[in-house]
Each structure stands twice: as structure tokens, then as C-alpha cells.
Amino acid sequence: MATTHEKLITHVMKDEPVGSRNKVTVVGVGMVGMACAISILMKELADEVALVDVMEDKLKGEAMDLQHGGLFLRTPKIVADKDYSVTAHSKVVVVTAGARQQEGESRLNLVQRNVNIFKFIIPNIVKYSPNCIILVLSGFPKHRVVGSGTNLDSARFRFLMGEKLHIHPSSCHGWIIGEHGDSSVPVWSGVNVAGVSLLKLNPEMGTEGDKEEWKHVHKMVVDGAYEVIKLKGYTSWAIGIGLTDVVNMTLKPEEEKQLINSAETLWGVQKELTL
């Protein structure tokens, strides 16, 4: 009979041989890509970071800027090129390149605009790093393609919980599941502060009859990206830092749990949802 732990944890990622290097590639040197790259460098997750973009001048400028600060970093090698050969032997490839979400545009419409861009990027990554793990959409098997899922949604949720309760978000726990963004679902039954269930304290939480209007907290999670885009034109820091957490989880497997993409046969899903 399966143990509680075996029922709780299902391994979908096969163990890969550990090499001598942790090379990470970031495709796209826009706002999100550079936020992710600098976060990887500051957290010392890789001993080589490669940058790729079709905009050669910006790519060269960003790479030089990072290289000039290399003395203050512990990553010995930072490389960049338009040619994907620079990505060879990467363990993790983070794809941030793509069309920028416009003000008021749904994420599903954005996906459609990015399809042709990805048709060029993914084959080039696979050509030079066939055994890598890709953080984004691809044709890879489910254990080797990872999306950020509702990781950022959950981070926003915990931040807003902390704001409402005047408690540091690290002590506030709660998950947002489902589709990233508009169709996401807050799991009110799991919301807690230091193990204390908020639903037990407020049985109406998340319902129309809730006088504390916790439902509005989830609305702010959904609207958060749209508001940031309206104010500064794009989102970058939160998703970039959040992606770095996923990179860390991939390179240094620990017991940390994160909400990334959903996988086939889990939670009643019968089709792969590697988004």
C-alpha cells in the first residue's frame, strides 16, 4: 500500500546525470530577460550564463554591461551572441523572448502572437542543448519543459494577504491554481498564517457574503499585471525574479514546492498542459 508521502508527491521529472557545469541560457534580453539574468547572477546559480537575442546591438550592450560588473559577481563566464551555438550544453534555458503584452490584452491572445517566434527559438535551443530543461512552451516531454504556471500569481496573492493583515508575506501562505491570470482560482481552504487557517476564522472568506471582501484580494492578483503594464508599460521584475526561483529549483533539487505548469495524468488532467 502506498504511503501518504508517495500519494502526496508524484515525480514527473527524471533524474539527469549531474555534469561539472551549471550553464544557464536566457533567450531574450528585454526587461524580463535581463531581470531574470541579473537575478541568476546575483544568486550565483550558474557558472556560465549565455544571452541570446535577435537585436544584436542591445544584446552586445547588455552583455558588456554585465561583463564590466563581473568583478563583483561569482559567475566566471558571461557570453552573448545572436547565434544559438553560444547556448551549447546548457542545463537550463529560460525563454523570455516574444511579443510584449499590450495594455488590456488577454494572455491567451498574447500566446497566439508568440507562436511563430517560438517556432524559430525552440528548434535552435534543442539543436545545441538536446538534454536541457526549458522554462517555456516546447515539444519536449512533460518532465523536461517547465512553465512559470501560477507561481507569480501565488506570490502576488501572498504579498496582498500580508498587506491586508499587516504581516510579512513569508508568514502568509496560500495558493493560486489553474490558468495564470484571468481564469486563476484561489484555494481559500489552504490559506493560512503560520499554520492558522483563515477559513476557520472567517468561514465566509472568498464568498459574496464575506464582509472582509477577501474576494477582492484575488481580483487584485488578476488585475495586478494589467495595472503595472498601464503604469510602466510592461512587467519585468516580479516575473524575472520568480523565474530565477524555478531555475534554482531545477539546478538544485530540494524539497521546495512551487506551482508551475500542470502535467498530464495529474489532478484529473488527461492531456499535457505544458504551457
Point out the annotated binding site: 28-33, 53, 114
Considering 68, 143, 180, 216, which one is annotated as catalytic? Answer: 180
Instruction: Give start and end residues of each alpha helix (H) in the chain.
Output: 4-8, 31-42, 56-68, 107-128, 151-165, 198-201, 215-232, 237-251
Pairing status of strand 48-52 against strand 23-27? parallel
- Residue 196: exposure state from Cβ atoms within 10 A (0-12, 13-18, ≥19): exposed
Alpha carbon distance 138, 106 (integer Å): 21
- Give the residue numbers of the binding site for NAD(+): 28-33, 53, 114
* Apex 16 CA angle, 12 and 17, nearest 5: 165
Which set of grid coordinates corresponds to residue 171? Answer: 508568514
**244, 40 Cβ separation under 8 angstroms:** yes
The DSSP output letter for 130 is T
180 belongs to the catalytic site: yes
**138, 145 Cβ separation under 8 angstroms:** yes
- The residues, any chain, with a CB within 8 Å of residue 260's CB and separated by 6 or more, are 146, 147, 148, 149, 151, 246
Active site residues: 180
